């Protein structure tokens, strides 16, 4: 497939109600926070995981859309598939690619062609079975909540017990951490030039948009509460190298509280107003609201 010919940036707005969008294992799984501003954080790794999970569901039976980084996968076994498909013997003395540059390039190309997340996000595949290293065209930054959020600890009970010796106990106590409400903003970047190296195509791009819009619909759990993608705004450049810096495009999007509602905590997406200043965009950049 032909690689994309345009550079893109995008802004994803998503929210959470009575849930934990991304727990911090170093803080007892509390929702991640910026300690200086109390704004909520969701890591890029968390968002990419949800994209991978969506693609795995939609493209479960389709060749070329396998997921490289998945739960309980053994990465060396993933790399070994390329060697077996191309009938190349792995290096037995160390973690090296084949000395033949053509064979080494074919191994990395095979990984890009067969694993969606390799040709999308890139991967470091230089382990014991070396399949090279790929810099992916799609990158995302941490998502931050528009306003400060207030983590809450909620006590929960379980009426059943684990062991017979605990039958006399009335209940088992537990705790879960939630945010009453938070609207998060994430920025993403897509390089046409890096897409040329991995083969990231227009079909892959459309799949990425679908994943960003629908990934929370297939990621429901008691811990995450209600999470929804609210808006996806995409900037498209005429020039593959770009027609303007990304920060100017992001600055054209304003997310503000509805006038008159600033004094009360936000509890719904309708408490915000989202606007795009299309006139501030550089020449050669168009904007499209996918959601």
Position 273 scores a pLDDT of 95
- Given its phi and psi angles, is residue 122 left (phi above 0), alpha (psi -120 to 50 degrees) or beta? left
Structure tokens that stand for 93 in this block: 């003395």
Q: Residue 100: its pLDDT value, please? A: 87
Model pTM score: 0.91
Looking at residue 186, its pLDDT comes to 98
Q: What is the pLDDT of residue 222?
A: 85
Quick one: 11 exposed, middle or buried, by C-beta within 10 A (0-12, 13-18, 19+)?
buried
Per-residue pLDDT of 185-211, as tens digits, reads 999 999 999 999 999 999 999 999 999
d(C-alpha 58, C-alpha 121), whole Å: 18
> Distance between CA atoms of 183 and 229, rounded to whole angstroms?
10
- Position 170 scores a pLDDT of 65
Residue with tokens 């070329």: 64
Q: What is the pLDDT of residues 127-162, one digit of tens each?
A: 889 999 999 999 999 999 999 999 998 888 777 777
Q: What is the pLDDT of residue 154?
A: 86
Q: How high is the pLDDT of residue 162? A: 74
Mean pLDDT of 116-134: 93
Q: pLDDT: is 270 or 127 the higher one?
A: 270
């Amino acid at each position: 497939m032909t690689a994309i010919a345009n550079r893109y940036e995008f802004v994803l707005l998503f929210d959470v109600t009575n849930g934990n969008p991304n727990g911090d294992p170093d803080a007892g799984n509390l929702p991640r926070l910026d300690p200086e501003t109390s704004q909520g954080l969701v890591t890029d790794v968390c968002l990419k995981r949800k994209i991978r999970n969506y693609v795995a569901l939609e493209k479960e039976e389709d060749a070329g859309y396998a997921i490289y980084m998945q739960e309980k996968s053994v990465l060396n076994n993933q790399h070994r598939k390329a060697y077996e498909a191309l009938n190349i013997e792995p290096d037995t003395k160390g973690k090296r690619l084949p000395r033949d540059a053509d064979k080494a390039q074919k191994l990395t190309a095979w990984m890009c062609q067969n694993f969606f997340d390799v040709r999308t996000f890139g991967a470091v595949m230089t382990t014991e079975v070396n399949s090279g290293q790929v810099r992916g065209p799609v990158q995302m930054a941490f998502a931050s909540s528009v306003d400060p959020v207030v983590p809450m600890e909620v006590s929960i009970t379980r009426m059943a017990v684990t062991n017979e010796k605990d039958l006399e106990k009335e209940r088992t106590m537990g705790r879960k951490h939630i945010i009453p409400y938070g609207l998060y903003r994430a920025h993403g970047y897509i390089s046409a030039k890096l897409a040329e190296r991995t083969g990231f195509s227009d079909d892959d791009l459309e799949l990425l948009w679908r994943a960003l819009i629908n990934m929370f619909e297939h990621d429901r759990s008691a811990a995450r509460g209600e999470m929804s993608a609210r808006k996806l705004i995409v900037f498209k450049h005429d020039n593959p190298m770009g027609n303007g810096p990304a920060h100017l495009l992001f600055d054209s999007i304003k997310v503000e509280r509805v006038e008159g509602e600033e004094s009360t905590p936000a509890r719904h997406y309708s408490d915000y107003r989202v606007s795009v200043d299309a006139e501030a965009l550089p020449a050669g950049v168009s904007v499209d609201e996918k959601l």
